[in-house]
Structure 1
Amino acid sequence: MPPGPPEGSEELAELVPELTPMFPNAAPFLARFLPHAAPSHQGLTQHFCDLHAFLKYLHEEGWFGYLHAVLGDQSAYVLVFEGRTVTAAAASATGEQALGELLSLYEQGAAISAYPLDAVLAHVLSGIGSRAWKFNLTEDFTGLHARPTGAIFYARGEIVATMPSTLPYEGAFPAPLRPQTLILPRSLAGWAHHQYTLTLRGRDALNAITSVHQSFRAQHGQPGLLFLQAINEKLSPAEYAMRSDVALHDLEPLVQDFLKSGCIREG
């Protein structure tokens, strides 16, 4: 039997997978580097799927992947990490504004499809925004290195994948250590950006010796108390969601209930 190849002689291309871009001709940076994947959900429309309920489902599942909304020649792309929307891109927007664009397109009749991703790839992609930075490969670099000849996916300094998608210049999109959740822009979630003030009943709800506290705790539990305390500390729901890593759509019914029960008021 002829001897096999010497150990360690495999080519890099054989060891590292080359990903196929899903949207190779897309203009937004995020879309350009999204890898091809089979959809887990396809063609969702507002006629039979409440988008906020779907986002809540993804959050509860701790899902990794991306969403693509398309309406005519308009598209929006949102990356989901651990069930949280962490970065987004549309034709002329990134971040929160692009997330708002996806919701706006959906309300106008766009179809949305969801494509699952490996958690490591989702983390690498989470740093893609509106601009690339100077590339500096450190031993713990996680992110995307884009070049005119292709892109390299790094996780903790190691190459985990390549992709033929390019940028006209060399640059890097470092991934944050823990990607932050995007919050809807004020135009779509004004309630989340409002300041609320505790009423006397709300202050009683935080006072452990009152009967109001006991009933409040029985109804809302520790999460409700923590949120009410944050409101007392002058945090808006959007700021609290960012700091505590709570999904914004989980806070909206609490705000409505706090207002209805007289624990808080606007302003």
Structure 2
Amino acid sequence: MSADEGQHGDGVRREDRRPPPPGEAETELIPELAPMFPGAAPFLARFLPHSPPTHTGLNVQFCDLHTFLRYLHEQAWFGYLHVLLADQHAVVLVFEGRAVTAAALNTTGEQALGELLNLYEQGGVLSAHPLPPTYAHVLSGVGSRAWKFNLTEDFTGLHACPTGAIFYAGGEVVATMPAALPYEGAFPAPLRPQTLILPRSLAGWAHQQYTLTLRGRDALNAITDIHRSFRLQHGTGGLGFLRALWEKLTPAEYAMRGDLALHDLEPLLREFLKTGLVRDG
């Protein structure tokens, strides 16, 4: 193969030219990934690699989506979810079991996550497609716009142009894809992808403040019996959440600060309200 034939559209070679590890005669070829949704308008959907689903045909009649998301969180799962209802689509990227970026036809981020939940609750069919952790990290920065490309030695993210897309991890090319943008741009990946929080319209409980009752304040006091029983039942995680509510953080703010999944806090908050530890307002 000539030098020209081994070039991608922007001058990046398809072959990894680093010295091979001991015992290997030649380097491995960089994989070219097939897009799962060729020509999709939302950027995230456009660059998702083809991946056979581990779960498919899920619908609201026999699968609670919040329970499924909790299951993925417990498994520290990597991949993406796709919901289809008639001609409406929504996708959510999952990193370590946490929804970190999402896209629907006209929205991205938290609003698109809300759109996926809405479509599912209206009868949409959901499938879950696994990805290698490296690919999931590369895609975690794909949002509503591409930025001017600036390849640094440790760049992690997606670079796209009219001739195709390149997946970078730590400055190295790990994959290419025949999916393009009409211009050159990049989607840098965050060092640690942050969990999406549902918008207020879908999770109003998560965006309001709560007041600790006398019983709730006693649960934070290490010398009380209530504290000992609370700690035994809910552990340090429950104490941290209750203390955050006492400090007037909303559940959404606490989830963002602690990089926690909001759906893990909802049943805990319900328990706090039910047992009289906190009240609304």
SS at match of 2:175: strand
Deviates more, 1:185-194 or 1:170-179: 185-194
Tell me the residue number matched to 1:107: 121
Distance 2:230 2:127 in 1: 40
Tell me the residue number matched to 2:9: none
Tell me the residue number matched to 1:147: 161
Distance 1:146 1:232 in 2: 46
Q: Residue 48 in 1 paired to residue 66 in 2?
A: no
Deviates more, 1:99-108 or 1:194-203: 194-203
Deviates more, 1:125-134 or 1:250-259: 250-259
SS at match of 2:197: coil
Residue in structure 2 matching 1:243, options 253, 257, 276: 257
Offset at residue 90 of structure 1 (A): 0.2
Q: Residue 228 in 1 paired to residue 242 in 2?
A: yes
Matched positions, count: 259
Residue in structure 1 matching 2:218, options 204, 221, 240: 204
Tell me the residue number matched to 1:126: 140
Offset at residue 13 of structure 1 (A): 2.9
Tell me the residue number matched to 1:265: 279
Residue in structure 2 matching 1:159, options 158, 173, 182: 173
Deviates more, 1:215-224 or 1:64-73: 215-224
Q: Deviations over 1:115-145 (max 9, x none)?
A: 0000000000000000010110001100000
Distance 2:32 2:84 in 1: 26
Distance 2:229 2:72 in 1: 31
Distance 1:257 1:57 in 2: 20
Distance 1:126 1:13 in 2: 23
Distance 1:260 1:51 in 2: 23
Distance 1:171 1:25 in 2: 17
Q: TM-score, normalised to structure 1's length?
A: 0.95
Deviates more, 1:196-205 or 1:146-155: 196-205
Q: Residue 81 in 1 paired to residue 82 in 2?
A: no
Distance 1:263 1:100 in 2: 29
Q: Deviations over 1:71-120 (max 9, x none)?
A: 11100000000000000000000000000000000011000001000000
Q: TM-score, normalised to structure 2's length?
A: 0.90
Tell me the residue number matched to 1:66: 80
Shift >6 Å, 4+ stretches: none
Tell me the residue number matched to 1:195: 209
Distance 1:48 1:255 in 2: 25
Offset at residue 255 of structure 1 (A): 0.7
Q: Residue 213 in 1 paired to residue 227 in 2?
A: yes
Distance 1:72 1:250 in 2: 31
Offset at residue 26 of structure 1 (A): 0.6
Distance 1:44 1:156 in 2: 36
Q: Which runs of 5+ in 1 are unaligned?
A: none
Offset at residue 167 of structure 1 (A): 0.4
Q: Which runs of 5+ in 2 are unaligned?
A: 7-12, 16-28
Offset at residue 31 of structure 1 (A): 0.3
